Structure 1
Amino acid sequence: MTDPATPTPSAASRTLDARQVTTLSVAVAVVLIALKAFALGASGSVSILASLTDSVLDLAASLTTFYAVRWAARPGDHTHRYGHGKGEAMAALVQAGLIFASAIFIGWEALARMFDPRPVTGGSWAIGVVVISMVLTAGLVWTQTRSLKASGSMAVQADRAHYAADLAAGAVVLIGVVSGAFLEAPGLDAAAGLVVAVWLFWGALSLLKGAADQLLDRETSDADRAALTTAVLADPRVGGVHQLRTRMSGTRLVAQMHIDLDRALTFEAAHDIVVDAEQRVLAAFPDADVLIHADPRGPWSPAVPATPSPSP
């Protein structure tokens, strides 16, 4: 069995990358809040209000991710034998809740402004802030995408999904501000805010599903299970794999299985086969926590006694 308490060098490098990108995420959120607060004061746009509210919750979500990634990277201890990886799923769950709250608030405000339209002023300032915000958000999403290739962090994935939604929502906000300030159609500004609310709600549902799957120990994908089985069966001495169970703990794959071995093998030989199988799994899934149980199969061979021979 592999030792889940000792992270490998590759795990350490992935954790470092995730920490760096979460720090950048917090910094971007702070800058966006400052810019949008200025734009809201200058324009009074409901679209800007919607975007500002979302950025405030972005900061809360990014701070949650910031701490969750560090907590999840801690090795296992006497109270958490499997490590703290599910802290990332918990962070994604918190993010989903924050996004739901944001969507409800923005949707309510947009509907109110539809029945009570208000003019959008300072359109040029608002448009400039929205464009700068979109550029910063695009840069963050690009960085998070690169980080995910190295870390596979669920918390970073949730954060990226949030900011990717923000990027698309920013385009909607831009349309709303332009229509409200230059086309004298404040109702379109409110409608743009409503579109943002619906977009956020849909993204929150996706995050909620992903977090729930991990917290409820959903099996990994069929492709991953097939890759596990293929790695173990690469040794012709392994007759079969059954009772395969998998789940994810943060970025770490946890797998348990039984394999069929010739009952004529010695204990030492069977142990070596199991260790070799674990190493092949680790080559395909670095940092996995693997537990393999050997089952005797096939006819008993009289050449290898089932019990120790009595001493003469």
Structure 2
Amino acid sequence: MVLLIASAPKRTFHYPNSPVDGEALVSTQPLNTPPAPATAMPPPAAASAQPELVVKTATVTRTFSEAAQSLGITAQMTKTLADAFASKIDFQRDIEPGDKISFVFKDTGANAQSGSDNRRPVAAKISLGAVSHEIFLYKALGGKAFYYSKDGTPAKPSFSRYPVAFSRISSRFSSHRLDPVTHQWQSHEGVDLAAPIGTPVHATANGIVKFAGTQTGYGRIIIVSNQPPYSTRFAHLSRFAKGIHAGSKVRRNQVIGYVGKTGWATGPHLHYEVRVDHVATNPLTVALPQHHRLRGADREHFAEQAEERMALL
């Protein structure tokens, strides 16, 4: 006896997205066999949560430093912020009681607790009456994080306006001034900044000392060659800082000497000059060199961040 055993017919499916267009993919699953249950796919991983932005504001009662530190900013960070605002704000004269400061922080949990040395604002605003100044922290692609102004220009200047903490301007730049010592009319090629003897004098930009010694009229003087075409002069010094001599390299904000009244001076002050292409210019108004603005992809990323954070300030 011959037994004929019939096998279940096979299904043939055509898939439009098969590896070869029109190729038939054959399933060996019998017609009456229920399909295998689909394997459950794992849920997609949750996106890492971005830190929330937190805004804190304080009113100045005495100083910027005091107001900033009341919001949990460290003394070192306060100095960094003041340096970033220095090209726009004179913290000795412009800050008054009633002015407001605002900071935007990333709320990253433990690191955002008051007093953390790692904490720094991602945006800051100082309101001086009706005038406001803002800076924004941004890390350029492949670089370090720095503070920038709204237009993408680095906030920290490459050239400071003032070299000393002074009490008043005792004599201004002038092409025709009656000299208090010689009693003759002549040009005054710098600005005199009154300060007590011994007040530290800082380099206003990176450079190389071309001369450190005594000259007629100037008394003890330091001449620094800065980035072309700029050079600076610091005169009537009581003494030079240690290590300052012709050929020494100096950096912006480095103490290079101390206020005195050597040379033709009627009282203690710093005589400060800025020369451009060897021509004396008014140190209070001369256009100072700036760092380059952000460009390309960095400029676009920065603009997006700044717009978001500006709305919070």
Fold equivalence (TM over 0.5):
no
Whose strand fraction is larger, Structure 1's or Structure 2's? 2
Whose helix fraction is larger, Structure 1's or Structure 2's? 1
TM-score bracket for the superposition, by shorter chain length? under 0.3
Q: TM-score normalised to the size of structure 1?
A: 0.24
Of the two, which has the highest radius of gyration?
2
